[in-house]
Structure 1
Amino acid sequence: MKTFYLFLSLCFLTINTTFSQKFENLALTPPMGWNSWNTFECAGVNETVIREMADAMVAKGLKDVGYEYIVIDDCWQIGRDKDGYIIVDKEKFPSGIKVLADYVHSKGLKFGIYSDAGIKTCAGRPGSKGFEYKDAETYAKWGVDYLKYDWCFTEGQDAKTSYKLMRDALYKAGRPIVFSLCEWGENKPWEWAENVGHLWRTTLDIDMKGRFDGNINGNLIGWSDLVDKQVGIEKFAGPGHWNDPDMLAVGNNDMPINEARAHFSMWAMLAAPLMAGNDLRTMSFSDQEILTNKEIIAINQDVLGKQGFKIKDYGNFEVWQKPLKNGDIAICLFNREIKNKKYQVNWKQMNIKDFAGEYSIKNLWKNKEIGTTNTNFLIEVPARDVVVFKLKK
C-alpha cells in the first residue's frame, strides 16, 4: 500500500511540475531583431509595415549579421470571441497573423508578438489576464517565436505569479517561444526570473527619440541613464537569461553618429538584446553601418555570455570590461562629456579583471590592429562617443 501511495504522489508531482518551466536552449546569446513600437507605436503599425520591415532586414544586411526577430508590439489585437480567443484587428492585419508569420518565416526570419499580463495592454487593447492558456495556444498555432509580455493594468497582481503563469502556458502549448518579460524592473526580475523567461526588462522605457540622458516625465529615460541602471546586476545575466535595458534607439530622430555609436557599443558591452526600433526601410547609411558592425556585434554575441561591467569611473568618463571566450577581453572607453577627452591608457593600472600576460589590441570601430598591451599610449575619445578595444591572447 505504501508503494501505491508513493506512486500516486510521484504522479501528482509530475503532473504539477511538467509545465512549470520555460523552454531551454533558446536565446543562448542576446536576441537580435526589430520591434515596431519606437517608430510606429499604435497608429502606424500594420501588416504592410511588418512585411516591409522583414524585407528590409534581409535587403539591408541585418539578417546576414544575426538579426532574426521581427516583433509586432502593441495594437495588433482588437477583442475576444465568445470562447475567449483573441481577435486580430482586421483593419491593420487583414490577412491575419498566421499568414504574416508565414511571410516572415519565408524570409528566413523569426516572428514575435506582444501581449500584457494585465486586463489591458498599455495601449488599452485586450490583455492576457485570465486567458493565458488560450493566448499561448493561439500563438503556437500562428507560429510565434517570441513574446514580449508587458505589465500595464496589473493592479493587485503579483509579478512572479503572473509571469510564471504565462511561462507555463507557453510551455504547455508546445512551441518553443522566447519569453521577454517587460515589467520595467519594478520587482527586480533579475533576482527571480532566470527560470521564468529568457530576458527581462531592468528599467522603464528608453526615450524612443534617442535622447542621450535625462528623465522625461518619469516614463522615458535617456539611454546613457539606462546604462547606469545595469551596474551591479551583471552576475544575473548569461546564456538563456539576459538583463534587458530596452530596445535600441539608433536611427531614431536623427541621433548623432557619435551618440549612436556609443549607444550601440554599450548595449554590446552589456550583453543586452539588440532589438532595433528604427525604420529599417529608410535608415541612413551611417545608421546601417552601426547596426551591422560585425566586430561590435561579435562582442555582444560572444558565446561566453558575460555581461560587461565598469572597472573605472572618472565621473563623465568610464572604462568598461566584458570577458570573452578564449580569455579575450573587450574594453570600452565611454566619454559622456560634451567635449573630447584625452586618456592615458595604462593597461596594468586599469583594474582589468583576469588580465595576465600580453594581448594584441584591435580598435574595433577603426578595424585596426594597434600593437600589444606591452605598450601604453595616449588616446583621444570624442565627445559622447566610445573607443572599443578587443584584447586577444
Structure 2
Amino acid sequence: MKNNALAILLLCSFVMARAQNGKYISLNNARFSTGDNPDWKNKDFADQTWRDVKVGEVWQSQGFPDYHGFAWYRIHVKIPAALKSNSVWKDSIRIFLAHVNDVDETYFNGTLIGKTGGFPNDKGGYISKWPAVRNYCIASSNPLIKWDGENVIAVKVYDGGGSGGIFMGSPFIDMLEKFDGIEFSVSAIQFLAGQKAKRTLTLFNRFNTVISGDLRYRVVDEMYGKTISRQVIRIKVNPFESKKFILFLPHREGIKVYYDFKELSSGKAKSFTEVAPYLLTPAELLNPILNGPLVIGVHPGSPIIYKIAASGQKPMIYAVDNIPAGLSFDAKTGILTGIIDIAGNYKLILRVKNNIGSDKKELTIKIGAKLALTPPMGWNSWNCWGLNVTEEKVKSSAKAMVQSGLADYGWNYVNVDDGWQAAERSPSGKLFPNSKFADMKELGNVLHAAGLKFGIYSSPGAKTCGGFLGSLGHEKVDADTYTAWGVDYLKYDLCSYSDNTAGDTTLFAQQKPYKVMGDALKLQHRDIVYSICQYGIRDVWKWGKAMDGNLWRTTEDITDTWASLRDIGFSQADRSAYASPGGWNDPDMLIVGQVGWGENLHPSNLTPYEQYAHISLWSMLSAPMLIGCDMSKLDAFTLNLLKNREVIALDQDTLGKQAIRTVNTGGIQVWEKKLSDGGLAIGVFNLNDKYCRYNLRLTRKKNAVNIIRDVWIQKDIKKNVGSISLQVAPHGVKLLKITGS
C-alpha cells in the first residue's frame, strides 16, 4: 500500500482540482501570522492568539495591505472517517490549496508533504512559483491522518511582491477517485467555410490504471437556450493513454459545449464546459490601410524610431512627405529614424501602396515635454514566461509580432520583465544580464532594426519580485546603462522596497523611490517611457504624473479569471480624471492567448465573451495594452481579437479621454468615452451570468443624423434612432461608436 500511495502522491500534481468529490470538506478559514518560526509547523503549537483569515483571498485584502515576506497559515480541520467509507476508491485524501504566491512549504500534522519554489534563504535562493497550483495527496492508510479527530495543515508562505497568500480558488479536502485521473483538453479551433468550426477534444488518463466510462457532450445555443446536438460514447482509456474526438460546431456567438465523463465503477462524473470561440473582426483586407497612433511625443534631442504600421498584402511601398530636418526614412522597411532638436509640432504625411491600392494619413510628431501621448501597446514577457524569460524567447516573440502582422496594427513594444539580471554588479556598480541574455545592447539593436521598441524591468528595492537585483542605490547607474542598451521603456516594480520603509506607509515614502528613478531618467539623452508599478498604493493615479510617470498600475496583479478581470477592470470608474496624454492609468497586462506565468502554459481561462469584454474595456479606459501570451502560439481567435483597427483606435484616440461609467444597475454597466473626431464610444457590459437584453437610450440633437456602428464587426447597424435594443452575452460586451449626434 505504501508504494501505491507514493505513486498517487507523485501523480497528484496532474489532477486538475476544479471540483470536489462527494462529501468534501471546505477549508474556508485559518489562523494567520506574519513572520516565520519553525515551531509554527507543529500540530500542537498554540495559535489561539493568531488572527483569523479567510483562505482563498489575498492577505492584502484582510488587513495586511502593504505586507510582503514570510507568513504562516494554520488550518484546523476535522476529517471524518465517513469521508473514506463513503468513497469508492478509498485510496488517498486530496488537499487542494489553490494558488500560493509565491513560495510555500506545506505541513500536515507537523510533517512536510510538499514544497513549491525556493525561499530567499534556501541554497538556490528565491524561486517564485507563481501561479502553480498546490495540490497534495496522502494515502488514506497513512497514520498521519487523524480520522474523526483534529488535523492541522500548516502552510509557510513567502510573498516577494504583489498579492500574497493562498488565493484564486476555494481550498478543500476530499477523497481521490479514479475519475480524477481524466483530464480534458481542447485544440485551437479551426474556422471552416460555411459558418462552421472544428474542435478536437482530447481525453488523457493520468493514472496508472484502466478507466472506463461514458463521454457525453452537448452543444447548446446559449443565446436562445436550444440544444443543437448531443452524443454519448462508451470508452476505455488505458493507463497514461489519450483519446481524441472531433466535433463540428456552428461558427457564431453563443455556442456553448458541455462535456462530461462518467466513470463506471463509481458513477461519478467529471465535467468541462466551454464557450466556443467565434470571430467578430472582419477578415483582413488586401488593400493597404495605415494603422497606429496619429501622434507621438518625443523629447528634444532624443533619438526617434518610428515604424509605419500598415496592414494589407505585402510587399508594400512606403513613403513620407514633409520629413523634418534631422530625420531619415528607409522606404524599404518603412522606418523613420533620427533626432529633432527644436521643440514644436511636425506634421508628416505617411503613404503606403501595393498592387491593389494605396492609403495615406497625417502623423504629428510633437517635440516637447511629453512622452506616451497615446497608451503604449506591445508585449511583455511576464504573463507567459515569468522568471523563465530568455533572450531567445524575447527575440522569438518580436519575430512573431512582425510575422503575425500585429506590428502592422501598432503593437510595437517588446518588454523583458523580471528574471534577466545577473547575480552581482561590477565593482563600479554596473548591472549586467545573466547567462540567459548574451548582449542587451545587441538585443535592443535587433528590436530597433525591426521598428520595435525595447522595454526592461527593475525594482526600486534591493531585490525584484523574483529575487533578482533591483536598483536601490544604483538608480543613476542603471538609467545610464539602459540608455546605452537602447532601452525605450522601464517597468519599475515596488517589490522589496517596502523592506526599507520600516512600516512607513506615508505618501512621501511611496513617492520617494519613484522620484529618484524619475530624476535619473530625465537626465538621459534618450526617451524611456516610465511605468510605475506599485499596485495603486496611496492612490498612485493622483501623483504618478508628478513623479514623471507615463503610466501607473492602479491594481494588484491580474490573472486569467473572470473574477480578477471583473474586479480590476470595473474598479477604474473613479480614475478617469487622472488619465490624459502623457500619463495613463494601468489596470495591468492583457490575459488573452496562451498564458502561464512561467509554468503551466495554457489557453486563457477567460471565455470568448470575457476576452471581447477585456479588450473592449481596456480600449475604453485608454489603458496601456501589453499582450502577455506566448507569441509563438497565437491562434486565429486571439489574432482576430488583437487585430481590430477600430477597437485599437478607441484606445489610441488622440483626445486621450478615459471612459466614464454612466450606468451601473442590474449587472449592466455602460461606459462612455469622448473621441477626438467628435464621436462617442459606448461600451455596454453584462456582468451577469446569462444573456441580457438592454435598451440603450441615445441623446440626439434636433434634426441631427446619428450613425451607430458596431466596432467589433466594423459595421453601421442603425441610424437616426433614439435608442437601440442590445442582446449582450454573459460577461460580454457590445461596443459601439456613435457619430453625428
* TM-score, with structure 2 as normaliser: 0.47
Corresponding residue to 2:577 among 235, 242, 246: 235
User: 2:549 maps to what in 1?
Assistant: 197
The alpha carbon displacement at 1:161 in A equals 1.3
User: 2:721 maps to what in 1?
Assistant: 374
The alpha carbon displacement at 1:61 in A equals 1.3
User: 1:103 maps to what in 2?
Assistant: 446
1:255-312, CA deviations, whole angstroms, 9 ceiling, x for partnerless residues?
Answer: 3221111100000000000101011111211111101111100010000000011100
1:104-128, CA deviations, whole angstroms, 9 ceiling, x for partnerless residues?
Answer: 1111100000000111100010110
Which structure has more relative contact order (CA 8 Å, sep 6+)? It is 1
When residues 211 and 355 of structure 1 are mapped into structure 2, their CA distance, relative to the original with a 3 A threshold, is farther
The alpha carbon displacement at 1:374 in A equals 2.4
Letter paired with 1:227: G
The alpha carbon displacement at 1:87 in A equals 1.9
Alpha-carbon distance in structure 1 between the residues aligned to 2:521 and 2:671:
37
- The number of equivalent residue pairs is 354
User: 1:169 maps to what in 2?
Assistant: 520
The alpha carbon displacement at 1:187 in A equals 2.2
The alpha carbon displacement at 1:25 in A equals 2.8
Letter paired with 1:101: G
The answer on whether the counterparts of 2:510 and 2:537 sit within 8 Å (CA) in structure 1 is no
User: 2:387 maps to what in 1?
Assistant: 42
Task: Work out the percentage of aligned pairs sharing the same amino acid.
Answer: 40
Rg larger in structure: 2
User: 2:632 maps to what in 1?
Assistant: 281
User: 2:654 maps to what in 1?
Assistant: 303
The alpha carbon displacement at 1:373 in A equals 4.6
- Secondary structure of 2:573's counterpart equals coil
Note the aligned Cα RMSD (angstroms).
Answer: 1.7
Q: Does 1:184 align with 2:562?
A: no
* TM-score, with structure 1 as normaliser: 0.87
The answer on whether the counterparts of 1:331 and 1:389 sit within 8 Å (CA) in structure 2 is yes
The answer on whether the counterparts of 1:24 and 1:240 sit within 8 Å (CA) in structure 2 is no
Corresponding residue to 1:113 among 452, 456, 473: 456
User: 1:7 maps to what in 2?
Assistant: none
When residues 345 and 25 of structure 1 are mapped into structure 2, their CA distance, relative to the original with a 3 A threshold, is same
The alpha carbon displacement at 1:326 in A equals 2.5
When residues 356 and 60 of structure 1 are mapped into structure 2, their CA distance, relative to the original with a 3 A threshold, is farther
Q: Of Structure 1 and Structure 2, which has the larger fraction of its residues in helix?
A: 1
- Secondary structure of 1:361's counterpart equals strand
Alpha-carbon distance in structure 1 between the residues aligned to 2:530 and 2:407:
21
Corresponding residue to 1:265 among 613, 616, 625: 616
Q: Does 1:84 align with 2:429?
A: yes
Alpha-carbon distance in structure 1 between the residues aligned to 2:391 and 2:374:
29
Letter paired with 1:391: I
Q: Compare 374-383 and 322-331 and name the one that shifted more.
A: 374-383
Unaligned runs of 5+ in 1: 1-22, 214-221
Alpha-carbon distance in structure 2 between the residues aligned to 1:278 and 1:86:
28
Q: Does 1:149 align with 2:500?
A: no
When residues 356 and 278 of structure 1 are mapped into structure 2, their CA distance, relative to the original with a 3 A threshold, is farther
Alpha-carbon distance in structure 2 between the residues aligned to 1:190 and 1:344:
33
Alpha-carbon distance in structure 2 between the residues aligned to 1:375 and 1:229:
29
The alpha carbon displacement at 1:173 in A equals 2.5
Corresponding residue to 2:730 among 373, 383, 386: 383
The answer on whether the counterparts of 1:347 and 1:373 sit within 8 Å (CA) in structure 2 is no
Q: Of Structure 1 and Structure 2, which has the larger fraction of its residues in strand?
A: 2
Alpha-carbon distance in structure 1 between the residues aligned to 2:413 and 2:449:
13
User: 2:589 maps to what in 1?
Assistant: 247
User: 2:356 maps to what in 1?
Assistant: none
Letter paired with 2:494: W
Alpha-carbon distance in structure 2 between the residues aligned to 1:356 and 1:131:
63
Letter paired with 1:108: G
- Secondary structure of 2:730's counterpart equals coil
1:211-244, CA deviations, whole angstroms, 9 ceiling, x for partnerless residues?
Answer: 111xxxxxxxx11111232111100000000000
Unaligned runs of 5+ in 2: 1-367, 502-508, 596-602
The alpha carbon displacement at 1:358 in A equals 3.8
- Secondary structure of 1:331's counterpart equals strand
Alpha-carbon distance in structure 2 between the residues aligned to 1:250 and 1:239:
26
- Secondary structure of 1:387's counterpart equals strand
The alpha carbon displacement at 1:194 in A equals 1.2
- Secondary structure of 1:180's counterpart equals strand
When residues 356 and 33 of structure 1 are mapped into structure 2, their CA distance, relative to the original with a 3 A threshold, is farther
- Secondary structure of 2:677's counterpart equals helix
The alpha carbon displacement at 1:357 in A equals 4.3
